[in-house]
Structure 1
Amino acid sequence: MDGQGRHDQGEHHFEDGRILSISCRPTGGGGAIITYDDVTEAREGQKKIAHLAYHDALTGLPNRRSFTDRVVRLSRQSSFAMLMLDLDRFKAVNDTLGHPVGDELLVQVVARLRGVCGDADLAFRLGGDEFGLLTTRQQAEAHALADGIVRALAAPFQIGEHLVSIGASVGMATSPCGGDTDLVQRMADLALYKAKENGRGRVEVYREGMIEEAAARRRLEADLVGAVEAGQLELHYQPLFDLPGRALSGFEALLRWHHPERGTVPPGEFIPIAEQCGAIVDIGAWVIDEACRQAALWPAHIYVSVNVSPVQLRSPDILWQLTRSLDRHGLTPRRIEVEVTETAMIENSEAIATVLAGLRALGVRIAMDDFGTGYSSLAHLRAFKLDRIKIDRSFVSGSHADAGSAAVVRAVTAMARDLAIATTGEGVESEEQLANLIELGCGAAQGFL
């Protein structure tokens, strides 16, 4: 054998990449049998398997296993910052354009990440549309890196014939040298959750108290799951009056939760939690049934308006729930009005439009709630075939003193009239506000007068 290779634990590695395994078996009389096996392919296969164990096959980035190992090693060497990143609206891309487009999008996302990151930054694909970054930059520089990532991923991607816009949310936490690696990841995850909760497409840094807030939220979530069976929920009813005659025409059902320890929990606090943990499905079904039960006790010309979550509208089950409750309490569909916010309508517009069309076919009326606080697009008024627009209380309360608010109310009522859509001014609390709504042409008022 020539001396161009090196002998290493029974294997000889040649400069051309070949690997021979050498074994020697002694024989009688001082001889030996030496065998040579070409193990090049086997060793290459082993290297690929080892690489795949620590890397993502699609993007080539290190994977979650590599991320976990690297965090432990890095924490022993220095302080560092951890960035947890989720792509916004990625699921919609997969659902509407298909997984091949989603895969190519991920590849392009990684290319942009590499363009933003420097030598001190390590990027990982943790799974799906979730990424992690580790950096030894100082906190201010790490925050600048996170901002740069959000900006880079906000620009549209060209995927074949498709121009795709997504975005990214980033949560960031820092750890001292020798810090608790599980804790810093939990902190970064909580910051990411806060970024998504605050509107997505942004960076949030962990702040003191987030862990305690998350624990309180979990307790509230656990209590909320059993609130229906425990009889802790209650509906209050706010009256609706036709204008200008001021005749009582209906009530909006307002949900209240009476917690045994915390007292009355505001809807703005527990409804988002119910939507995220799935409890809104059972709560929403209870609200529909209870509102129908109560409306059955009222005169036949009085209707009840019920707020419906976008989570409920993503499933056709709401049609079955409404039909069952109407039948159970002997109520006609025209005595039920379903309220949905404009923001909720457009977030899953196609699926929600289908369910709303089913409700209208059943005979249930559809109202857009809080009009003026969201996108306020004329296209949405046509697309969703609304029966009513409810003008947000912020415009109603200021319409008698603020020329801008009055102009909004006047414009909305005139536009709705031309489209044959009824209008209701929300949050009326005084005779002055009521008289002003009548003067501006609003068709109904809601509030405790």
Structure 2
Amino acid sequence: MRIDFLGGTGTVTGSKYLLTHEGRRLLIDCGLFQGLKQLRLRNWDALPVDPASIDAVLLTHAHIDHSGFVPRLVQLGFKGRVYCSEATRELCELLLPDSGRLQEEDADYANRHGHSKHRPALALYTEKEARAALKRFEVVPFGEECSPWPGWSWRLRKAGHILGAASVRVGWKSSSLLFSGDLGRRNDLLMRPPEAAEPADYVVVESTYGNRKHPAADTLTELASVVNRTAARGGIVLIPAFAVGRAQTLLHCMRLLEQARRIPDMPVYLNSPMAADATRLYSRHLDEHRLSPEQCDATSLKAIIVNSIEESQRLNSLQFPSVIISASGMATGGRVLHHLKAYAPDARNTILFAGFQAAGTRGASMMSGADKIKVHGAYIPLRAEVASLETLSAHADRDELLAWLDGLQAPKRVFVTHGEPVAADALRLAIEERHGWPCTVPDYRESQEL
């Protein structure tokens, strides 16, 4: 078996791992690169193999940095099936067309306003191409052993990161390779904890928070503090949030705080039709999260859903304390950019981040203390308070990653991926010191024989 690391190396985005064995090729994850421009440009690069030669794709979960390249792969000639859990397929039915639509809108906006260096600016793929790619998806039940080809097998186990998130164990002959996928947390407010790691000869483990522990602070207390001090200033709390996972957790938290009268009675707008649709899916997958059917319904009813562009535009002129939750979570695109232009210049307001901010994103820039941000080709002054809820991260921290690995029985090698360089190397060192296992942080497009 050969593994080629085609993404998720030196960065938390673009996850792609190509397995080649006895004339078959399987791509584990098929994500978009995000963040720094040199990373985003990789989305346009030719793959080192003909996409038509890849027999199948197996997704760990639906987030765009793990699934968003699928339409492009199909566009380039891929003709196989895309395997995933049921909830991952349902979420991809929301996320991928939205990704294509946003790319078309961004390209159109750039062409009309002339702020792109490309003439014309193009979408990587369109909404129509994304919908066509969804016809290739096929559901794999959790825990079921699948044997697609002679000498190959794979099985999904719940990873607890978002709905449908999976760890994947791939077997061939008498050997095996375990992919952690993105691992969730033991005490997440919304999701159940990851299932135990399955024994394997080789392991590929994520390292998003491989160099740190999540703070022990209480999420509800911190969120209430941000909302209350912003409301006291007469300001708006703008929360860039991932449409799948973080948006639902935030709505749940806002409902709990309002019920306990720990925050003022104020409108909460969910300006992401996709997030609203994703919230409804929680009632279909009660075994994956902690909410009861009644809580799922209450979470869906908590927010004022903003659907049309006209309704979204009206949010930019609010004159009373409010909370706006809008994608994308790293402020890389979507409707939240228009809200940033409206609310970032006013010191009464707060920009609140609730997830990891990859290097090169607007979110990372704002978190690092920038006094202005570039949106749609123009610089916007950043006078609003910038705050973060690190306790809301959906990723396991260093100790939780190590605890998950503790269940393994001395693999031959561990590959540390899906993390910024410092985080990945810190986790490598921690694994070596804790277990003495051979551990590698692979480079982009590196190959290894297993």
TM above 0.5, yes or no, is: no
Larger Rg: 1
- Which structure's relative contact order is higher, taking Cα pairs within 8 Å and 6+ residues apart? 2
Whose helix proportion is higher, 1 or 2? 1
Whose strand proportion is higher, 1 or 2? 1
TM-score in terms of structure 1 length: 0.27
TM-score in terms of structure 2 length: 0.27
